[in-house]
Amino acid sequence: MILGKAVSHSLFTRSILHCSPCLPSFSVSSCGRRAASTAAALKPASDVEVEEATPSPAHPLTDKDLARLRVQRNIGVSAHIDSGKTTLTERILFYTGRIRDIHEVRGRDSVGAKMDSMDLEREKGITIQSAATFCDWETTNAQDGAKTKYAMNIIDTPGHVDFTVEVERALRVLDGAVLVLCAVAGVQSQTTTVDRQMRRYNVPRVSFINKMDRPGSNPWRIVNQIRTKLRIPSAAVQVPIGVEDGFKGVVDLVNWRSIYNEGVKGSTVVYSEEIPEAVLDFAKVKRTELIEQLAEVDEEIGELFLNDEIPTNGQIAAAIRRSTIGLKFSPVFMGSAIKNTGVQPLLDGVCAYLPNPSESEVLAHDTNLPPTAPQVSLSPAAEAPMVGLAFKLEEGRFGQLTYMRVYQGTLKKGNIIYNARTGKKVKVPRLVRMHSNEMEDIDSIGPGEICAMFGVECSSGDTFTDGSTNYSMTSMYVPEPVISLAIKANGVETPNFSRALNRFQKEDPTFRVHLDKDSKETIISGMGELHLEIYVERMRREYNVDCTTGKPRVAFRETITQRAEFNYTHKKQTGGAGQFAKVVGYIEPMERDPETGKDVEFENVVMGASIPTNFIPAVEKGFYEALEKGSLSGNAISGCRLVLKEGGFHAVDSSELAFRLATIGAFREAYKVARPVILEPIMTVEVVAPSEFQSAVIGSLNTRRGTIVDSEVRDDEFTAIAEVALNEMFGYSNQLRGSTQGKGEFSMEYKHHMPVLPNLQKELEDAYRKTLPASKK
Ligand SMILES: Nc1nc2c(ncn2[C@@H]2O[C@H](COP(=O)(O)OP(=O)(O)OP(=O)(O)O)[C@@H](O)[C@H]2O)c(=O)[nH]1
C-alpha cells in the first residue's frame, strides 16, 4: 500500500470512498450514453457469429462499418490503488506485441512500467495520468478454431482518488471496462467509487480477480462481495487450478477446458480438454452456479433452466455477452498478472463479452433545437458527419495534445473541425495514435476510435464537429476541490509560474487556481494533498519553478439557503463620464447537477429593452465575480442561481463596467438576506486494522465527530467506514499509527459539502473578519 498506510508522513492521507448504497442493478443515466438494447441478441465472437446492434436510422451502418466495428474495443482498466492495474496492462501490452519486454512497477530494472510514463509515476510507483494505448489481439474460436483479430484502445487509469477526474474522463469515452480486484482485499473503498463512476457512464464491465498467487487469496469471497457490496449479479467464468503459490491456470467454465500459461513470461497459452481431477467436481458446481446466475438475468437461459435443459457452450457465452452489455451482469475472470497467469483468457473475455462501439447508444444535443428537445443518437458510420469529444488535454514535448474519441464520421488529417462550445474552427494539422508516451502518425481515424490531435486549442470536454451539424455532447462530472494552499515562486516570479498553472488548469478541471484579492496570494485547490503535491513537483521539474507552499487548508465554501430579491442601482457622478446601471432580479439556492457537478447558474429573463443585450454578459461576469468570495469567510460561493428580470440604463453613462459593478453590489446585498451558511467537505474514511484495535479505532473516529456508516470483521482484521469532516482529519495518520502499532491503514474520499456546526461557523467568520481591512469589517 503506497499511500494509505498509517506511516504516511502526510497530514491527511489520501482519499478514497465508499459510495452510498448502489442501485440493485445498473440504472440508465442520461450521461450521453445509454445501454444498448439487449434485443440485438449479441453473441460472442470467440464462440458464435456476432450479430450487430440496431443501426441509427439517420445514418445506417454499412456492411463495411459493421465489419470494422465488430472487431473494435475501447476499454479501461480501473480499480482500487495497488490492485495491479498497471502490472496487468503491462502484460496486455506484452502479449499483444506492443512492447518487447515486461518492466515492473517500481521494478529492479528501474525502467518502470510502460504505462507509467511520467518520471513521477515511475518514482512513486503509482499511476497519475491515464495513459491510452492501442494494440491488436487475436482470438481463436473454441469450437471451430476460426481466428479473429481485434483492435483495442486501452486506458490504464489511476487508482488513487486524488486523480479521480482521470477515471471520469476515461470512462466517459470507453465502451467497456475491466474492473480489477485483489484476490485478498476484494472490494475496497475505491472499488466502489470506480463502480459508481462506471454506473454513471453506463459502462459494462468484466471483473478480474488479480493476485491469485497471494497467500490468503479467496476468489469466492470476492465474487460474493461483488454481488453483495457492488450489487452486481455476477458469477465466475473460471475456476483456479492450484491455489496461492501453486496457482498455475484456470478452468474455462464456458468452453469447458483447462488453460495454462507456459513458455517465456507465460506467453504460450496451452488449452487442454482435461480438467484436473482435484478441481473437476468443484468446476461442475461452479458451472451450474454460472448458469443459475445467468438464468436470473437472461430470458433465454431462464427459459432453458425452467425446462431443465442444459444450455450449450455457445448459448452460455451469448447470454454472458447479452447481459454484460445490457448492464445486468459481470463475468468474473481470475489470474495473477505478476506471475503471468490468466491474462490472455481475460483478453479473450474482453473481446467476447464487452461491446463494440456500435453496441452502446451515444447521445448528443442538437443545439439548434431547444434544450428540452430529445437528444439525437449518434451513429458510428464512417460516412456520417463527424462528431468527436475531446476528453483529455496534455501538453507534451511537441505542444498541446488533445485526445479525442470520434463517435460518428471520420476525422482526417488536414480537416477543418468546429468547436461546438466556442464556434471556433480549427484545422487538424497532425493526427496520432497514442501508445503511452509514444505516438504513431495516422492520416484518418474512424468512428468509435480514439486518437490524439496536435495543435487543437480547446478545453477538456469540448465537442468537435465537421460543421454540418450542431451537435454537442454532455461533458463529464467534475467534483469540487476539497483542499487548497497558497503557493509562491521562490525568488523572482518568472512567466513560467503562471504558464504552468494555466496549463495544469486546462488539463485538469479539478485543479483550480485563484488569486486572493485581499491577501494577494495565489491559491491552488484540488482533490487532496497528493494531487497538489504532484503539481508543485511538476512545476519544479517541467517549468523550472521552485515554489514555497503554505499549510494545506480545507476548502470551505459558502452557499445560500433561501431566495432573496434584489433591485439595485449603481450610480456614480464624479466628474467626467458617469456610471449608471440598474439590475432587478433574485438569487436562489441551486441543487448540484448530478451529471456535470454544475451548481451555479446565471439566467437572463429580461423582456423588452430595459437592459440592452450587449450589457448582459457584463451582468453575468459580475455574478461570477461575486461568487468568488463569500462575505462570511472569504470562501467561494456555490449552489446559487442568479435570475436577472429587468433593469435600467442610461444612454451615455451606462457601460459594461457599470453593469458589472451593479451586479456585484446587488449580489452582496441580496446575499445577506439569503441566509448564507459555510459548508465544509465531508469525507468517507475507510480504516482497515487488526481486530484487536477495533475499539481504539472506532473511539478515535468518534472523537473526530465521525459517523460510523459500516463495519465488517473478517478473520483477524476489520474494516470501519465513517463519514468525517475533512477539517477533523488533521493528524489522523499519526494517531492511527500510534493506536494500531503502525498496523492500521486508512484512506478517504470526498463525499459532499455540508453546513458546518454553528460554533465552527462563528470561529471561521471571526477569523475572516480579522483579516479584513478596517473599512470592510
Ligand atoms: N502478488 C502479486 N502482486 C501483484 C500482482 N499484480 C501486481 N502486483 C503488485 O502490486 C503492486 C501494485 O501494482 P500496480 O500494477 O502498480 O497497481 P496499480 O493498481 O496500477 O496501482 P496505482 O497505479 O497506484 O493505482 C506492485 O507492487 C505489483 O508488483 C499479482 O498478480 N500478484
pLDDT tens-digit readout, 11-45: 333 232 222 222 223 333 334 554 444 333 333 33
Which atom of ligand 1 lies at the shortest distance from residue 339's CA? 31
**Structural contact between residues 384 and 395, judged by C-beta atoms closer than 8 angstroms:** no
Task: Kindly report, residue by residue over 180-235, the tens digit of the pLDDT.
Answer: 999 988 888 778 878 887 887 889 999 999 999 998 899 999 999 999 888 899 99
At residue 131, the pLDDT reads 58
Which residue lies with its CA nearest to atom 7 of ligand 1? Answer: 84
At residue 134, the pLDDT reads 83
> How many CB atoms sit inside 10 A of residue 151's CB?
15
Question: Is the minimum distance from the CB of 293 to ligand 1 under 6 angstroms?
Answer: no
Question: Is the minimum distance from the CB of 116 to ligand 1 under 6 angstroms?
Answer: no
Over residues 428-446, mean pLDDT: 82
Annotated binding residue 716: no
Task: Kindly report, residue by residue over 574-611, the tens digit of the pLDDT.
Answer: 766 788 999 999 999 999 887 777 889 999 999 888 89
- Given a cut of 80, is residue 559 above it in pLDDT? yes
Tell me the pTM.
Answer: 0.71
C-alpha 597/C-alpha 476 separation (Å) is 8
Q: Helix-strand-coil percent breakdown of the chain, rounded to 5? A: 30, 30, 40
At residue 706, the pLDDT reads 94
At residue 23, the pLDDT reads 26
> Which residues fall within 8 angstroms of residue 641, CB to CB, at 6 or more apart?
587, 588, 589, 590, 600, 601, 602, 603
Over residues 373-394, mean pLDDT: 86
Which atom of ligand 1 lies at the shortest distance from residue 121's CA? 23
Q: Across all residues in the chain, what is the average pLDDT?
A: 82
Phi, psi torsion values for 247, nearest 5 degrees: -65, 120
At residue 670, the pLDDT reads 96
C-alpha 607/C-alpha 655 separation (Å) is 20
Question: Is the minimum distance from the CB of 114 to ligand 1 under 6 angstroms?
Answer: no
Which atom of ligand 1 lies at the shortest distance from residue 2's CA? 24
**Structural contact between residues 187 and 225, judged by C-beta atoms closer than 8 angstroms:** yes
Instruction: For residue 392, give the C-alpha cell.
Output: 483529455
- Given a cut of 70, is residue 8 above it in pLDDT? no
Check residues 528 and 436 and name the one with the higher pLDDT.
528
Question: Of the ranges 99-113, 602-616, 661-675, which one carries the lowest mean pLDDT score?
Answer: 99-113
Which residue lies with its CA nearest to atom 9 of ligand 1? Answer: 84
- Given a cut of 50, is residue 299 above it in pLDDT? yes
Phi, psi torsion values for 441, nearest 5 degrees: -70, 140
Question: Is the minimum distance from the CB of 284 to ligand 1 under 6 angstroms?
Answer: no
Which atom of ligand 1 lies at the shortest distance from residue 125's CA? 16
Check residues 111 and 704 and name the one with the higher pLDDT.
704
Question: Is the minimum distance from the CB of 484 to ligand 1 under 6 angstroms?
Answer: no
C-alpha 44/C-alpha 355 separation (Å) is 10
**Structural contact between residues 359 and 325, judged by C-beta atoms closer than 8 angstroms:** yes
**Structural contact between residues 287 and 236, judged by C-beta atoms closer than 8 angstroms:** no
**Structural contact between residues 547 and 489, judged by C-beta atoms closer than 8 angstroms:** yes
Question: Is the minimum distance from the CB of 361 to ligand 1 under 6 angstroms?
Answer: no
Question: Is the minimum distance from the CB of 338 to ligand 1 under 6 angstroms?
Answer: yes
Which atom of ligand 1 lies at the shortest distance from residue 90's CA? 15
Question: Is the minimum distance from the CB of 85 to ligand 1 under 6 angstroms?
Answer: yes
Which residue lies with its CA nearest to atom 11 of ligand 1? Answer: 82
Which atom of ligand 1 lies at the shortest distance from residue 335's CA? 31
Question: Is the minimum distance from the CB of 82 to ligand 1 under 6 angstroms?
Answer: yes
> Which residues fall within 8 angstroms of residue 264, CB to CB, at 6 or more apart?
none
Which residue lies with its CA nearest to atom 13 of ligand 1? Answer: 84
**Quick one: pLDDT band at residue 396, thresholds 50, 70, 90?**
low
At residue 337, the pLDDT reads 94
CA–centroid distance, 84 to ligand 1, in Å, is: 3
Annotated binding residue 245: no
CA–centroid distance, 748 to ligand 1, in Å, is: 20
- Alpha helices, DSSP H, located in 140-257: 164-173, 189-200, 219-228
Question: Of the ranges 316-325, 451-460, 533-542, 671-680, which one carries the lowest mean pLDDT score?
Answer: 451-460
CA–centroid distance, 184 to ligand 1, in Å, is: 13
Check residues 391 and 210 and name the one with the higher pLDDT.
210
Pocket residue to mutate for ligand 1, from 15, 16, 81, 82, most atoms within 8 A of Cβ = 82
- Given a cut of 80, is residue 555 above it in pLDDT? yes
**Structural contact between residues 725 and 5, judged by C-beta atoms closer than 8 angstroms:** no
> How many CB atoms sit inside 10 A of residue 270's CB?
11
C-alpha 232/C-alpha 686 separation (Å) is 22
Check residues 162 and 690 and name the one with the higher pLDDT.
690
The residue written with cell numbers 474519441 in the block is 405
Question: Of the ranges 109-123, 396-410, 478-492, 729-743, which one carries the lowest mean pLDDT score?
Answer: 109-123
Question: Of the ranges 211-215, 307-311, 396-400, 692-696, which one carries the lowest mean pLDDT score?
Answer: 396-400
Question: Is the minimum distance from the CB of 86 to ligand 1 under 6 angstroms?
Answer: yes
Of the chain, the percentage scoring pLDDT greater than 90 comes to: 40
Question: Is the minimum distance from the CB of 190 to ligand 1 under 6 angstroms?
Answer: no
**Quick one: pLDDT band at residue 694, thresholds 50, 70, 90?**
very high
Instruction: For residue 304, give the C-alpha cell.
Output: 432453458
**Quick one: pLDDT band at residue 160, thresholds 50, 70, 90?**
low
State the amino acid at position 277 in one-letter form: E
C-alpha 243/C-alpha 223 separation (Å) is 16
**Structural contact between residues 667 and 566, judged by C-beta atoms closer than 8 angstroms:** yes
Question: Is the minimum distance from the CB of 337 to ligand 1 under 6 angstroms?
Answer: yes
Task: Kindly report, residue by residue over 494-517, the tens digit of the pLDDT.
Answer: 899 998 998 888 778 888 998 877
At residue 686, the pLDDT reads 85
At residue 593, the pLDDT reads 80
Question: Is the minimum distance from the CB of 105 to ligand 1 under 6 angstroms?
Answer: yes
Task: Kindly report, residue by residue over 747-765, the tens digit of the pLDDT.
Answer: 787 888 899 999 999 999 9
Question: Of the ranges 28-37, 414-423, 562-571, 590-599, which one carries the lowest mean pLDDT score?
Answer: 28-37
Annotated binding residue 158: yes
- Given a cut of 60, is residue 126 above it in pLDDT? no
Which atom of ligand 1 lies at the shortest distance from residue 89's CA? 15
At residue 639, the pLDDT reads 94
Instruction: For residue 30, give the C-alpha cell.
Output: 442520461
CA–centroid distance, 353 to ligand 1, in Å, is: 25
Pocket residue to mutate for ligand 1, from 14, 15, 338, 346, most atoms within 8 A of Cβ = 338
Which atom of ligand 1 lies at the shortest distance from residue 180's CA? 19
Question: Is the minimum distance from the CB of 214 to ligand 1 under 6 angstroms?
Answer: yes
Which atom of ligand 1 lies at the shortest distance from residue 105's CA? 16
Over residues 614-622, mean pLDDT: 94
Give Cα 643 to chain centroid, integer Å: 32
**Structural contact between residues 158 and 130, judged by C-beta atoms closer than 8 angstroms:** yes
Annotated binding residue 159: yes
